[in-house]
């Protein structure tokens, strides 16, 4: 997976002749820090560093160049220097209003002078916005999915070559920067590696994303911007003007752009409309967890600038890190293409409905005649968990099932920091406010029914409070509890540290131990086998990664001619043959019933200038290793959860003996 590294960005000489992007020493493109400072940004005490891991993999990160104190401003990036779709929308609106404004924010103080240089031709902005509107809609908002809009925006800037004022930034994007491969976000993983994840919920999300990627890259884009067949209910062929000049956007190129958008964007909910933005240099900071481990944070200003501040004392040479949110490994893999081992936010999620609760508690309380739940218990559980009474959602307003977790984490988090990542930027507030990445928010947001798991905070309790509440209600012998529990919240009833009666709690811990064991046994491989696999030659990522040379596709747009100046659209003649190249899930459209077929056009394209077999083998090996790491992490989580419930049962039993 890769795209032409040099051509779409233009040659050094032509870029210099177009007036932008050269560094102080004449190097091209200019280092990001120099470029930012030259255009009204701030870079203070941090620098971009390239690192080569022993495995042979290359990565970039930010390091402190001197000692930094909490509150120090490290980087500030004005809106016109960011790659964001709302800048395009603003340019299109201004043009439609007859203002003829070419820059995204032309009247904003010191940035005003820059705006002209950062101009976006109104006709192109309008064409791009028209394309945005045709994108599939996220199942959460009903609006065009932001990942697609941002992908189109990246491709647009890429297609402008040296005419794009963001060229020094584009040159640093993974897949374009020398030696830095495209992040292997889950939707770009090989199918056999996806199967090896052994986790249905994630596999389903990945298949959904793969479907939409294929649909947009192979069918929708060619149809919208060129010819192609018109499907029923779809827009007419050639409905939109092609804003990409000669850059041929196929599935592979669109996938690259979407992966870049997902893995690098910050969500902003301030200002007139929520948006997403790629922030040069700031987006080089890597992710750490838990939240408290990050030594820097991001804040957005009301005029669209995004700034990074030190949150703690940072010593010279130390890595400057952010937290992308309270992501479990499911969301990290979907949106960023990596997992954390261990990940304090990880959990084993599964769907819980009334039937499952009934079978879990069977014979442990409730209705003495049937051994199942009594009607009052079913009603109380339904009310507290928002679950449908009879297992079928809809009729009584309850959900058919809710997604709950088992986690290996024993410590409980202070509630003060239990903030869903999606709520990080308060719309309309006057002061600068913290921002978090929103490509994938808090883990549980991949399902609409899992908000309580998010609210459980950055460090989960070993058992989802809703599951524990259901078991506590379901194992009651005595209806006398009903009134008391009716007045309590689900978090109170399901709090790990509380209990109703000691013997009942011991029974519940035994039920949970049996559940965790059953879930663990449902995996085809064991922890030991996975560990062995990871250390085996067949998953030797080091060897494979060392063999990677950046994938470079053939037939990409040629270098822009010297006459291509800032503001001028790339002409199709200058790029003749065309280059090609949980919230996370809710943000995507729902999967239609019939998945699409693989697009032969994208798959069959030849690549030159590198060894495609070696690159594919390396990518395949990385995917396979990540899949095994992912499932190993899940099993470890289940194992820890099992240990936590067994330990608690023993503790309670010991207390009973003493008494």
Ligand X SMILES: C[S@@+](CC[C@H](N)C(=O)[O-])C[C@H]1O[C@@H](n2cnc3c(N)ncnc32)[C@H](O)[C@@H]1O
Closest distance between ligand X and the C-beta of residue 626, in Å?
10
Closest distance between ligand X and the C-beta of residue 231, in Å?
33
Residues 6+ apart with CB under 8 A from 530: 628, 631, 632, 635
Between 307 and 387, CB nearer to ligand X: 307
Between 472 and 622, CB nearer to ligand X: 622
Between 130 and 287, CB nearer to ligand X: 287
Residues 6+ apart with CB under 8 A from 261: 146, 147, 150, 151, 153, 154, 276, 278, 439
Between 131 and 284, CB nearer to ligand X: 284
Residue with tokens 């390091």: 63
C-alpha 398/C-alpha 392 separation (Å) is: 8
Residues that bind ligand X in the complex, under the rule CB under 6 A: 59-61, 174, 180, 183, 263-264, 283-284, 286-287, 336-338
Closest distance between ligand X and the C-beta of residue 399, in Å?
32
C-alpha 29/C-alpha 321 separation (Å) is: 25
Q: Give me the DSSP letters along 596-627.
A: PPP-HHHHH--B-SS-HHHHHHHHHHHHHHHH
Closest distance between ligand X and the C-beta of residue 322, in Å?
8
| Whether the Cβ atoms of residue 169 and residue 280 lie closer than 8 Å to each other | yes
Between 106 and 337, CB nearer to ligand X: 337
Beta strands at 319-322 and 433-435: parallel, antiparallel or unpaired = unpaired
| Whether the Cβ atoms of residue 3 and residue 176 lie closer than 8 Å to each other | yes
Between 180 and 534, CB nearer to ligand X: 180
Using CA atoms, how far residue 417 sits from 227, 454, 498, in Å, is 52, 11, 21
| Whether the Cβ atoms of residue 32 and residue 168 lie closer than 8 Å to each other | yes
Between 284 and 402, CB nearer to ligand X: 284
Residues 6+ apart with CB under 8 A from 202: 186, 330, 333, 334, 630
Closest distance between ligand X and the C-beta of residue 22, in Å?
22
C-alpha 325/C-alpha 297 separation (Å) is: 11
Between 60 and 648, CB nearer to ligand X: 60
Between 215 and 264, CB nearer to ligand X: 264
Burial 28-37 (b: 16+ CB within 10 A, else e): bbbbbbbbbe
Between 163 and 289, CB nearer to ligand X: 289
Q: What is the DSSP letter of 463?
A: B
Beta strands at 306-310 and 296-300: parallel, antiparallel or unpaired = antiparallel
Closest distance between ligand X and the C-beta of residue 340, in Å?
6
Using CA atoms, how far residue 38 sits from 82, 130, 160, 309, in Å, is 14, 33, 21, 20
Between 169 and 212, CB nearer to ligand X: 169
Closest distance between ligand X and the C-beta of residue 29, in Å?
15
Closest alpha carbon to 222 in 239, 209, 210, 206: 239
Closest distance between ligand X and the C-beta of residue 53, in Å?
10
| Whether the Cβ atoms of residue 115 and residue 105 lie closer than 8 Å to each other | yes
Closest distance between ligand X and the C-beta of residue 641, in Å?
24
Q: How many CB atoms lie within 10 A of CB 302?
A: 13
Closest distance between ligand X and the C-beta of residue 363, in Å?
46
As given in the structure block, the two tokens for residue 81 are: 């220097």
Largest CA distance in the chain: 89
Closest distance between ligand X and the C-beta of residue 136, in Å?
23
Closest distance between ligand X and the C-beta of residue 177, in Å?
8
Between 148 and 336, CB nearer to ligand X: 336
As given in the structure block, the two tokens for residue 319 are: 């890595």
The helix (run of H) or strand (run of E) holding residue 502 is helix 502-521
Closest distance between ligand X and the C-beta of residue 67, in Å?
23
Residues facing residue 307 across a β-bridge: 76, 299
Closest distance between ligand X and the C-beta of residue 121, in Å?
29
As given in the structure block, the two tokens for residue 593 are: 């019933």
Between 279 and 374, CB nearer to ligand X: 279
Between 336 and 481, CB nearer to ligand X: 336
C-alpha 300/C-alpha 312 separation (Å) is: 19
- Residue spans of beta strands (DSSP E) within 65-196: 73-77, 83-84
C-alpha 579/C-alpha 560 separation (Å) is: 13
Q: Sign of the CA dihedral 279, 282, 283, 289? A: negative
C-alpha 559/C-alpha 13 separation (Å) is: 10
Closest distance between ligand X and the C-beta of residue 40, in Å?
22
- SS3 category, 349: strand
Closest distance between ligand X and the C-beta of residue 51, in Å?
9
Between 221 and 322, CB nearer to ligand X: 322
Please list the alpha-helical segments (H only) found in 242-289.
251-264
Closest alpha carbon to 132 in 87, 169, 170, 175: 87
Between 14 and 551, CB nearer to ligand X: 551
């Amino acid at each position: 997976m890769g795209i032409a590294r040099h051509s779409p960005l233009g040659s050094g000489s032509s870029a210099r002749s177009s007036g932008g992007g050269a560094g102080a020493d004449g190097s091209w493109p200019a280092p990001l820090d120099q470029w930012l400072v030259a255009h009204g940004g701030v870079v203070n005490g941090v620098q971009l560093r390239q690192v080569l891991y022993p495995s042979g993999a290359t990565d970039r990160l930010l390091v402190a160049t001197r000692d930094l104190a909490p509150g120090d401003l490290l980087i500030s990036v004005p809106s016109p220097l960011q790659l964001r779709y709302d800048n395009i929308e603003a340019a299109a609106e201004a043009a439609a209003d007859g203002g003829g404004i070419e820059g995204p924010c032309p009247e904003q103080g010191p940035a005003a002078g820059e705006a002209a240089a950062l101009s976006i031709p109104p006709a192109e902005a309008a064409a791009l916005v028209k394309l945005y509107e045709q994108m599939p809609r996220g199942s959460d908002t009903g609006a065009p999915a932001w990942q697609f809009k941002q992908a189109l925006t990246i491709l647009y800037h890429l297609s402008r070559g040296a005419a794009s004022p963001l060229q020094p930034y584009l040159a640093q994007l993974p897949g374009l920067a020398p030696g830095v491969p495209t992040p292997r976000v889950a939707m770009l993983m090989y199918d056999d590696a996806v199967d090896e994840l052994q986790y249905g919920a994630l596999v389903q999300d990945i298949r959904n994303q793969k479907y939409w990627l294929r649909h947009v890259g192979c069918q929708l884009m060619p149809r919208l911007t060129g010819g192609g067949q018109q499907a029923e209910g779809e827009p007419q062929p050639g409905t939109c003007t092609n804003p990409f000049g000669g850059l041929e956007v196929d599935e592979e190129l669109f996938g690259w752009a979407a992966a870049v958008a997902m893995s690098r964007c910050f969500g902003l909910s301030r200002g007139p409309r929520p948006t997403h933005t790629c922030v040069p240099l700031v987006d080089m900071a890597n992710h750490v967890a838990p939240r408290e481990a990050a030594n820097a944070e991001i804040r957005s200003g009301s005029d669209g600038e995004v700034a990074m501040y030190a949150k703690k004392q940072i010593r010279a040479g130390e890595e400057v890190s952010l937290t992308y949110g309270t992501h479990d490994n499911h969301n990290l893999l979907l949106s960023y293409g990596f997992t954390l081992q261990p990940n304090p936010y990880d959990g084993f999620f599964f769907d819980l409905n009334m039937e499952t609760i009934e079978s879990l508690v069977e014979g442990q309380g409730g209705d003495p005649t049937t051994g199942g739940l009594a009607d009052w218990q079913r009603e109380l559980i339904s009310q507290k968990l928002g679950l449908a009474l009879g297992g079928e959602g809809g009729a009584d307003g309850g959900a058919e099932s809710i997604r709950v977790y088992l986690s290996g984490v024993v410590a409980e988090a202070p509630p003060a920091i239990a903030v869903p990542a999606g709520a990080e930027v308060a719309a309309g507030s006057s002061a600068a406010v913290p921002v978090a990445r929103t490509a994938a928010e808090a883990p549980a947001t991949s399902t609409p029914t899992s908000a309580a798991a998010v609210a459980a905070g950055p460090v989960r309790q070993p058992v989802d409070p809703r599951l524990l509440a259901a078991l506590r209600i379901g194992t009651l012998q005595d209806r006398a509890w009903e009134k008391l529990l009716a007045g309590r919240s689900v978090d109170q009833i399901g709090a790990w540290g509380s209990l109703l009666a000691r013997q009942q709690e011991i029974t519940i811990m035994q039920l949970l131990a049996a559940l965790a064991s059953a879930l663990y046994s449902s995996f085809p491989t064991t922890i030991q086998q996975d560990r062995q696999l990871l250390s085996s030659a067949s998953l030797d990522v080091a060897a494979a990664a060392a063999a990677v040379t950046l994938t470079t596709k053939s037939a990409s747009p040629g270098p822009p001619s010297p006459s291509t100046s800032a503001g001028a659209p790339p002409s199709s003649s200058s790029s003749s043959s065309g280059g090609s190249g949980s919230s996370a899930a809710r943000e995507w459209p729902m999967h239609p019933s019939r998945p699409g077929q693989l697009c032969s056009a994208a798959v069959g394209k030849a690549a030159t200038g590198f060894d495609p077999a070696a690159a594919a083998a390396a990518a395949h090996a990385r995917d396979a290793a990540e899949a095994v790491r992912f499932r190993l992490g899940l099993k470890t989580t289940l194992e820890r959860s099992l240990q936590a419930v067994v330990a608690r049962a023993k503790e309670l039993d010991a207390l009973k003996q003493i008494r």
